[in-house]
Copies of this chain bind each other. A is one copy, B any other.
Amino acid sequence: MPSAMKMSKSSASLRLGKVPEDALRRYVLKFVGKRRRDVLLPPRYGEDAGVVETSSNRIVVAVDPITGARELIGWLSVHINANDVAVCGAEPRWFSSCILLPKNASINDLKVITKQIHNAAKTLGIAVVTGHTEVAPYTTSPIVIGQMIGVLAMRKIITTSGARPGDYILMTKTAGIEGTAILANDLEERLRKMGVPNSVIKDAKNYYRFISVVKEALWLTKHAAVSSMHDPTEGGIIGGLYELSRASGCGFKVWRESIPVSKTTAVICRAFNVDPLKLISSGVLLATVKKAERNILSKIGAKIIGKVTEKRNERLLIDKTRTVSIDEPVTDELWRILQ
C-alpha cells in the first residue's frame, strides 16, 4: 500500500492552470509506472498524446474518476480502471491520468498522487502513456480521472450482459470491501466514539489492499467457461447483480447467507446500520459460469452465491425467513452515511 495523501500546506502552492514545467518534469513525468517496450511515445513535456504499439487488434477502453478527498486517490484510479478492463477479459496495459487539483493544492499534493499512480501501475505491469495535470477552477478537492487501455487475453470479449439462464453466479472475497475502507478512513473518529475497537478500524482502513480483481478476472478468462464478469461498485453486491440482470436480460436467485461478509466489514456496517450487500464493493469479482468446478472456485477463492434465471424481472435475494425482490437500482449505503 502506498503512502496516503494528506493535504499539506507546507510546500509551495500551485497556481491556477497548467502545472509548471519544472514540477511536471520532477513530479509527473518521472512517475510513469512500468517502462513497457510497447510504449513508443511516453509522457513528455510539450507532448499532448502518447503512442503505444498493440499486439492485438482488439483493444479495451475504460474511464473512471476518483472523486472525494480520498487519501489513495492516485492509487485507486489505476486499480479501479484496471478492474474495468480486466472484467472485460483484457490485460490492462496503458494508463492515462487527468489530475485536477483545487486552488490551494501544493506541489507535494501532486507528488503524492503521481507516486501512487506510479506504484499501482508498476504492480500491475502498466505504463502511464499520457496525461494532463492542472489546478482547475470549480474543484474543491483533488479529482483523478483515470483511463485504461487493455488488450484481450483471449479473443473473446466478456461483458456484463453475457450471463445466461442456468449459469452459476460466483463472487470472490467479501462484500463491501471498498466501502469498508472508505467508512473507516473517512469516519474514523465517529467509529471510535461508537466504541468500535481500534484493531477493527485499523484493519478496515487497509481494506483498499483487496481492491484489485485483475488477477482473478484474467485467470477466469483463460481457464473457465465464464459468460460474464462484473466489478460491483456503487450499490454493492446487490447493485452489481441488478446491473448484471438489467444488462443481460436475465433474472437471478441469490442466497444472502452464501454471500461472505468479513468480520471487520460486519462490525463497521453494524456501527452505521448499513447493509454490507449494498455497500460499494470494488475488489469483489462477480462472475457467471456454465460449470462451477471446484478447482476453479478454489483457485480464485470464489463462492457460489446463486444462479441466473430466465425471467428478466425475477431478481430475488433469498433470506432464511423471507425473499426480497430487487425491483429498482440500489442506492449505495455510502451516500446515505456520508451525506
Partner pick for A63 among B21, B69, B96, CB 8 A cutoff:
B96
A50 at the interface (CB under 8 A from B): yes
Segment from A106-114, A155-163, A174-182, A195-203 that makes contact with B: A155-163
A51 adjacent to B60 (CB under 8 Å): yes
A86 to chain B, nearest CB (A): 9
B17 adjacent to A332 (CB under 8 Å): yes
**How many copies make up the complex?**
2
Determine chain A's interface SS by DSSP, over half rule. mixed
| B interface footprint on A19-48 (CB within 8 Å = 1, 0 otherwise) | 011000000000000000000110011111
Q: Which of A44, A94, A143, A152 has its CB near the most chain B CB atoms (within 10 A)?
A: A143
A156 to chain B, nearest CB (A): 10
- A128-168 residues with Cβ-Cβ distance < 8 A to B are 129-132, 134, 136-141, 143, 145, 147, 149, 152, 157, 159-161
B157 adjacent to A20 (CB under 8 Å): no
A9 at the interface (CB under 8 A from B): no
Contacts of A230 in B (CB 8 A): 46
Q: Which residue of B lies closest to A332 (CB)?
A: B17
A225 at the interface (CB under 8 A from B): no
Segment from A241-249, A264-272, A304-312, A315-323 that makes contact with B: A241-249
Cα-based distance from A160 to B46 in the complex (angstroms): 6
Q: Which residue of B lies closest to A54 (CB)?
A: B57
A11 at the interface (CB under 8 A from B): no
| B interface footprint on A57-95 (CB within 8 Å = 1, 0 otherwise) | 111111111011100000000000000110110100010
Count contacts on A: residues with CB < 8 A to the other chain: 75
Q: Which residue of B lies closest to A247 (CB)?
A: B46
Cα-based distance from A55 to B54 in the complex (angstroms): 11
A335 at the interface (CB under 8 A from B): yes
Partner pick for A143 among B48, B138, B147, CB 8 A cutoff:
B138
Q: Which of A52, A90, A231 has its CB near the most chain B CB atoms (within 10 A)?
A: A52
Q: A67-B138, A139-B139 are known contacts. Are A54 and B59 too (CB-CB below 8 A)?
A: yes
A246 adjacent to B147 (CB under 8 Å): no
A49 adjacent to B62 (CB under 8 Å): yes
B18 adjacent to A234 (CB under 8 Å): yes
A62 to chain B, nearest CB (A): 4
Contacts of A129 in B (CB 8 A): 61
A4 at the interface (CB under 8 A from B): no
Contacts of A160 in B (CB 8 A): 46-48
Contacts of A149 in B (CB 8 A): 59, 61, 149
A293 at the interface (CB under 8 A from B): no
A16 adjacent to B339 (CB under 8 Å): yes
Q: A49-B62, A49-B85, A88-B49 are known contacts. Are A20 and B329 too (CB-CB below 8 A)?
A: yes
Seed contacts A17-B335, A49-B62; 12 additional CB < 8 Å A-B pairs: A17-B331, A20-B329, A21-B329, A41-B157, A45-B247, A47-B159, A50-B60, A50-B62, A51-B59, A53-B57, A54-B54, A136-B143
Q: List 15 A-B contacts (CB under 8 A).
A: A41-B157, A48-B64, A49-B85, A51-B58, A54-B54, A54-B59, A55-B57, A59-B59, A61-B129, A61-B130, A63-B145, A64-B132, A67-B139, A98-B98, A138-B140
